[in-house]
Each structure stands twice: as structure tokens, then as C-alpha cells.
Amino acid sequence: MRWAEGFIAVDWGTTNRRGYLIADGGRMTDEMEDDRGILAVGREGFDRAVADLKGRLGDRPLLMAGMVGSNRGWVEAPYVPCPAGLPELAANLKWVVRDRIAIVPGVSYSDGDAADVMRGEEMQILGAFAEGMVAADALICHPGTHNKWIRLEDGRITAFRTVMTGELFNLLREHSILADLLSAPAEVDDAFEAGVRKGLESDELMAELFSVRARVLLGKAPRESAASYTSGLLIGTDIRIGARAAPQEEIVVMGRPELTSLFAAALRIGGRTAREVDGEEAFLAGVKHLSELIQ
């Protein structure tokens, strides 16, 4: 079966997976999502997990991206070094079953002492460019467990940096002395704005995090504001790291809307121009254009 006649695209992450049935012409006609990320599946469970995908979406060729191709996933797909575009990804697909099951390689960046890797975000970034959602030259912020700041030049990923903002917030919420203060959802409010401004201005994140608890204990801040303030503090610090290389440039914030809205709001608080792009739409564009390059 030719890929142009239809296939299943899978965004398979650490904790979740999303599958899409792509019909001829790149139209998405069915989808599913569950919590069967690679950690839940385990190394011995991928054959059954793939059979489950086909049972739910049909017997079609599979094009998979994300952590499924990591050294903790099903089959490791080696990284493609920057600069990387869709042609480089297509040329380096990892075939599990020739012409039937392929895993998209991740992208790596190395420059002097700098070293970084990504898996999954590249499909959204390059798909957004191919579909005209972002310009050929752009700075892209991709919020998530491991937030990425990605430089796109001439339609190719040339450099990026990862900031562990999402994971740090989750660790603080679940395992730290701040856990009982961070159960509420973070919202864009006055506390969030105050946290963002502190994160943009301060070089003392570790000390500022402890002050979240102290401020509540001493009556300087209500308990209800702690989650929003802490989220703003971490995101403001993240932006100070990622956005300083392009002080005047528009920043495209790409990913899940509940995360892009927080980062876009924080960027605007910091006086930056931000534009949001839906990550799911970008991923679907990426697999559509990548499938057209499969030989």
C-alpha cells in the first residue's frame, strides 16, 4: 500500500500517545489518545501496543514520532544533526518493517560544550513551516515537560535549547515542600504576572522558590496565589533564558493551547510579541508533508 493512499500517524511521548488516521490527500479522518506512553508500555509491550493502534484505527502503514524512537522506546532512531529539515528526516527514517512501519528520527544540536536533543517537536516545527504557519526564519518556543527554544533558518532547525521548566514545576508540585501550595491550576492573574516579572528580573530562582512558602506563612501572599505565582516565576526564568538571543523578534509559541496561552501571556508581560500555533495542527501538517517524501 502506498503512503499516499493513507496511513496512521502517531505522536508517541513519554506519558501519552496520540494516533491519527490520515486519508489520501493528508486529511485526518479519525483519531485516538490515551495514557499509553512509552513508560506505561515498557520495552516488552510495543508489539501489543502497535496491534492495539491498528485495531482502533485500521490496518495502515505507521509513521511514528516522539519518544517511541528513543533508547527507552521501541526501536531507537538515531538523531539527525542540525541543520535539519523534512528531507533530512525522510532520508533517515528508522524502518521497523520496510514500507509499513517507520520511526521519525529526533534532532540533535552540538556546538562546543553545548549539547541538546529533541524528539517529536521537530515534526511540529517543520510541519508548521511546510504548511505556512511560520516563516522560514523564526524563533519558536515549544512549551512542555521540557520546553524548547528553537531557531528556524531557511526552513530548517539550526539550533535549539531545552529548559526543564515543566518537569521542575511537576516535581515541585508532587515532591517538594511546596506541594501543598501548588495543587490549584495556574492561571494568568495578578500573581502569575508578579511571578513572571520576578523571574525575568531575578538571578536567584532557587531562593525565590523557597520564598513562595515563606510569603504564605508570613501573610504576605494568599495560599490560593501560590500555584500561579510559581508558574509565572518558572516561566519568566525560562523566557529570560530562551528569548534573550532575539530581543526584538516575534516569538512563535507552539504546542498545546493550555501551555501556549501561559507562555504567550508571560512573553507579553515581558514586552515581547507572541503568536500562538496549535501543536496538533502543526504535527498533522508535518506528517502529511513528510509522507510525501517517503520513497
Residues of the chain with pLDDT under 70: 1-2
| Sheet with 94-97, side-by-side order of all strands | 28-34, 17-22, 7-12, 62-66, 101-103, 94-97
Residue 1: its pLDDT value, please? Answer: 47
The answer to whether the predicted template modeling score (pTM) of the entire model surpasses 0.75 is yes
Query: Could you tell me the domains of the chain?
Result: 3-134+280-291 (3.30.420.300), 163-278 (3.30.420.310)
End-to-end, the C-alpha distance of the chain in Å comes to 12
State the DSSP string of 18-56: EEEEE-GGG-EEEEEEES--HHHH-TTSHHHHHHHHHHH
Contact 109, 126 (CB under 8 A): no
Residue 244: its pLDDT value, please? Answer: 83
* Helix residue ranges, H only, the chain: 38-41, 46-57, 86-91, 121-130, 165-175, 190-201, 205-217, 226-242, 257-269, 279-291
Bridging pattern class, strands 101-103 and 62-66: parallel
Residue 33: its pLDDT value, please? Answer: 95
Other Cβ atoms closer than 10 A to 22: 24
